[in-house]
Structure formats: C-alpha cells, structure tokens
Amino acid sequence: MIEVCFPTDRSGFAVALRAFVDASAQGDIFCVAGIAFGFGRARKAQSRWRQLFSPRVIHMTDLHSRRGEFEGITPDEGGQILKDCVSIVNKHMQFFAISSCRISEMKENLQVPETGDPIMDAISKGVSSPYAWCVHTVMHHLGHLSHLHSGSRSGISYVIEAGDLGQGKVKEYIRFVEDHPYPAFRAMYGFDGASFVEKQGKEVLLQASDILCWEWAKHLLRKDQGKGVRPPLNAIFGGLEETSQKYGLTGASQKPGRGIASHYEGDKWAESLRDLCNEYSSPDTNQLASLYRENG
C-alpha cells in the first residue's frame, strides 16, 4: 500500500526524498536526493522491491561494507543486489534530483539569525542548515522537472524520511509553505503536500533515494581522488554529464528531463552564502517576506 504518497485522486507524482550524510567515513559531503514516481509506477516499483529485498532494508552504508543485514555476503552478491536496485529505479522512475554541499563551508558561512519577525524567521528555516539548503534546492529542481513532464508546477507529494539531522526546522518551513495562502513556493516546488515517514516502514522507495544519495556523495569524494563515475550512478543518470559552475558543479542526464544534480562549494559559493544571510536577516532586502505580506 502506498496511499500515503498520493492525493486521494492518485494523480501527479510521489517523490521519495532521502538525505545522506557521513562527515567521518565519507568526508565532508551532505547530500539530499529525491526520485519521482507516478502512481502506477510507484506501485509496481514497491511491489518488485519487496519481492526482491523484504524484509531487508537497503542501507547503502551497510551494503557497501557488507555489515548489518548484509554481513557475510560476497562482493558478487552485493553487486547483484545493487544492480537489481538500480534496475527497479530505472524501469519505474520518471525523474530525479540531487543537491549536495560541503558541511564545513555551510557551517562557516551560513549564519542566519532569528529576527523576531515570524514570516522572515519561518522563511529562513528553509535555508538555515546544510539539510535545509539541500532540501530546498532539490525540491526546486523537482518542481521544474514536474513542469517539464506534466506541463504543471503542481502535483508532487513529498515523502520524506523522518529523523534526519536538522529536520525540525525544515518541517516547520514545509508546513509554512503548505499552510500560507501565498502560492509562490508551492508552485516553485510543485508542492501538493508532504509526509514524514520511517524508511523501515511501508515507504520502501525511500531506500531507492538512499542509493542515489550515497552514490552521488561517493562520486564527489572519488572525484577528489581523480576517479571516474561508478556504473550504478551512471546507469541511473542514463549517462552523467558534468559542468563546472560559478558555485560548484552541475550534473545532468544525457536524456533530457531525466535528472539533475547540483553540488555547491568554493569561494564564490561561500561569498554567496554570506550575502544570502544578510538578505534574509534584513526586512529591507528580504523580498520573499515582502511578497508573503503583500499576498497573505
């Protein structure tokens, strides 16, 4: 059963949104990924996932290191499990998005103070941590991709794993977007609602987003070592093309509309973060707060 993913008319897309962070074993990368499925495709993907893997829960950190539920499996067995996971994703997903950043850069340069203004402080929660920034940007990408696929910036029901680091403020921000009468952010994210659920529960497609998160974070760390793209990530992208940008790196699928990734790092990005903090903390420059007041 996957009804929690969708509005009652079973329309639009469900996005399983998953965050991955490992500041020790995998370095300094924070990553959030979301994979969108239509209702019929999600139902088939859920069914196939359970057939192959239940009652195991696919944690990429455990699968890669062959520990926990995967203790004792051979490298070939682990490789086959990952191939089966990627096969399900590629067969049933409609599009995906990834956002990542350097934790150290965000902590050093992202200092958004509370102002006492309820609207300004509510909006700032959407960008006030590595988790918040990555959720905001990945949802923005997904809203754009939903428009490409359906012609509408609406219809995404977000399914977000509960308990991730920094989620409290993000949950407040998402409820603000959900409840406030000004529709601009809902349209930007293609937002039709959000549920916060446990990955160990019935929303097994969160495990698919975990794989995408882990593979992208691993890819960024491998790039630092001069290594190439791992086959699972390249397969999900349908061919990964990368471009250096002013604020970091963009990864795109060779297949238009399939998926996009944004990685934020570097001196220009740190400068932009400081400017963002100044903008969000001033009533004279916080244009989003002004728009909310004018349209509330």
Convert the pLDDT of each residue in 85-141 to its tens digit: 999 999 999 999 999 999 999 989 988 888 888 888 888 888 888 888 998 899 999
Cα three-residue angle 154-156-158, rounded to 5 degrees: 145
The tokens for 121 are: 């402080």
Q: Which residue has the tokens 């991955």?
A: 20
Name the burial class of residue 121, with classes exposed (0-12), middle (13-18) and buried (19+) by CB atoms within 10 angstroms of its CB.
Answer: buried
CA torsion sign for 91, 241, 216, 35 is negative
Provide the pLDDT for residue 281. 83
E-only strand ranges, the chain: 13-21, 29-38, 95-102, 156-161, 191-197, 240-245, 248-253, 259-264
Is-cis flag, bond preceding 113, omega within 30? no
Domain coverage including residue 240: 3-295
Provide the pLDDT for residue 269. 94
Provide the pLDDT for residue 164. 65
Ranges in the chain, pLDDT < 70: 1-26, 151-154, 163-166, 181, 198-202, 296
Q: Which residues are bridge partners to 31 per DSSP?
A: 20, 100
Residues near 120 by Cβ (< 8 Å), separated by ≥ 6?
280, 281, 283, 286, 289
Q: Write phi, then psi, for 102 (nearest 5 degrees).
A: -90, 120
Provide the pLDDT for residue 1. 35
For β-strands 156-161 and 191-197, DSSP reports them as parallel
Tally of domains within the chain: 1
